[in-house]
Amino acid sequence: MIIIGEKINGSIPAVAEAIAKRDADFIKARARAQADAGASFIDCCASVPEAEEVETLHWMIDCIQEVTDLPISVDSPSPQVLAQAYRFCKKPGIFNSVSGEGDKIDTIFPIMAQPENRGWQAIALLSDDTGIPKCAADRLQVFDKIMTKAKLVGAAVQAALDEGCDPMQILNEGMINTMSVVGEKFKNGEIFVPEMLVAARAMKKGVEVLKPHLATGSTGAQGKVIIATVAGDLHDIGKNLVAMMIESAGFEVVDLGVDVAADKILEACRANPDVKIVCLSALLTTTMPAPKDTVAALNAADFRSGIKVMVGGAPITQDFADEIGADGYSEDAASAAMPAKKLAAA
Ligand code: B1M
């Protein structure tokens, strides 16, 4: 967890007084107290008229850096002020903040993109020129706009491709392995669901850049596949990669999305009588019963002899696949096409 100490802010009357009197001991004492209390960053906000802000922040940042080497969260509503004040910091800290508003992103992101500013982070507020969105979906739209501007992941993937890295290596080592780190951090309580969501969105952006280099385009000649993440499960990155690889191997893929109940899968099979394989992805130990139930429902269907069922996902094993009566299993997306081809030909 990141703790940002917010006690050095000119909107607090005692701090405003200390700033006006240039009482360095007061600011230093607050910085020290927050460091001792376990802060990861010390926020520094002047809350003075903009004309005085850079000079004031300079003085405050110097005071803080005299007593602690914690990184600083440079806090101002003005991107122009942030663009000057961050230079007073001895080590990378946080730009507090950017948002979809005005020229904030366009001012701050190019600074962060400079190689000498590696390590600087930004707090992104999910508001824009229309104000604070009323619902979560609209906030996420602002988030997407900010991430698109940041082009962080896509640019990093593109840079690796430009340097001649193998696309499969970028996917496996750069992206899937990173997701394991995200998973570990979540398990250890260091990050929470929103951070996992951000990581998932970043991964999707990266996969978009990678896709033309991994997938060769589908002819559909191998037949039709229905793919879904099982009921109760919202994880779709692995499923999407499997779909991409299978499609690339010549299959036509009907993707039913996430959290797909058995009856929906049966319905889709009836609507696609030429389907050859049903692919089920499950990521949670708690959703492992869902592929079992789905296979059972498919086994009871009159069309079962005409289709094959393949399962996969982190908690799924070959033994589990055999136990629930699935016809095929694959450990990862890269090797999913092979059993799919075999099943389609059987
Ligand atoms: Co969640 N999540 N998550 N999560 N999440 C895991 C899976 C977890 C391992 C993290 C952890 O605790 N270490 C853990 C599961 C623990 C368990 O069951 N034992 C977990 C949990 C607990 C949860 C929630 C319950 C958290 C909560 O709310 N308290 C919640 C559940 C929501 C739900 O589904 N109902 C939840 C939510 C989420 C987000 C929505 C925030 C997000 C998913 C967003 C999205 O997918 N659009 C998310 C994420 C990102 C993860 C981690 C960090 C990454 C998953 C991922 O995309 N991996 C994950 C930790 C981890 O994986 N290490 C975690 C990369 C992807 C390429 O790998 O999906 O395994 P994967 O796919 C692989 C193979 O499995 C295989 O191919 C791919 C590789 O090539 N494969 C198949 C997959 N499907 C296949 C099908 C096949 C063949 C192969 O044939 C048909």
Give residue 75's pLDDT.
98
313 lines ligand 1 (CB under 6 A): yes
**Can you tell me the distance from the alpha carbon of 78 to that of 46, in angstroms, rounded to the nearest whole number?**
11
Question: If we measure between CA atoms, which residue out of 113, 210, 114 comes closest to residue 158?
Answer: 210
328 lines ligand 1 (CB under 6 A): no
**Can you tell me the distance from the alpha carbon of 309 to that of 103, in angstroms, rounded to the nearest whole number?**
52
pLDDT tens digits, residue range 282-335?
999 999 999 999 999 999 999 999 999 999 999 999 999 999 999 999 999 989
What's the 169 CA to ligand 1 centre distance in angstroms? 20
Question: If we measure between CA atoms, which residue out of 31, 110, 25 comes closest to residue 71?
Answer: 31
**Can you tell me the distance from the alpha carbon of 202 to that of 233, in angstroms, rounded to the nearest whole number?**
20
What's the 248 CA to ligand 1 centre distance in angstroms? 23
What's the 26 CA to ligand 1 centre distance in angstroms? 48
Cis ω before 97 (30° cut-off from 0) = yes
pTM of this structure: 0.74
Give residue 153's pLDDT.
80
**Can you tell me the distance from the alpha carbon of 15 to that of 209, in angstroms, rounded to the nearest whole number?**
48
Tokens of 49: 């008229």
Give residue 148's pLDDT.
79
**Cβ-contact 42, 73 below 8 angstroms:** yes
* Owner of token pair 């998932």: 200
**Can you tell me the distance from the alpha carbon of 186 to that of 243, in angstroms, rounded to the nearest whole number?**
26
Tokens of 28: 């230093």
**Can you tell me the distance from the alpha carbon of 189 to that of 194, in angstroms, rounded to the nearest whole number?**
12
**Can you tell me the distance from the alpha carbon of 272 to that of 276, in angstroms, rounded to the nearest whole number?**
9
Instruction: Please give the number of the atom of ligand 1 that sits closest to the Cα of 180.
Output: 63
> What's the CA angle centered on 196, arms 194 and 201, to 5 degrees?
95
Give residue 256's pLDDT.
98
214 lines ligand 1 (CB under 6 A): no
**Can you tell me the distance from the alpha carbon of 232 to that of 82, in angstroms, rounded to the nearest whole number?**
44
Report, as ranges of residue numbers, the positions in the chain whose pLDDT lies below 70.
151-152, 217-218
**Can you tell me the distance from the alpha carbon of 175 to that of 170, in angstroms, rounded to the nearest whole number?**
6
**Can you tell me the distance from the alpha carbon of 133 to that of 154, in angstroms, rounded to the nearest whole number?**
26
Burial class (CB in 10 A: 0-12, 13-18, 19+), 265: buried
What's the 236 CA to ligand 1 centre distance in angstroms? 8
193 lines ligand 1 (CB under 6 A): yes
Give residue 231's pLDDT.
98
DSSP characters for 135-176? SHHHHHHHHHHHHHHHTHHHHHHHHHHHTT--HHHIIIIIII
**Cβ-contact 228, 280 below 8 angstroms:** yes
314 lines ligand 1 (CB under 6 A): yes
What's the 165 CA to ligand 1 centre distance in angstroms? 26
Residue type, 261: A
Instruction: Please give the number of the atom of ligand 1 that sits closest to the Cα of 239.
Output: 84
Give residue 152's pLDDT.
63
CA 288 from centre of chain: 24
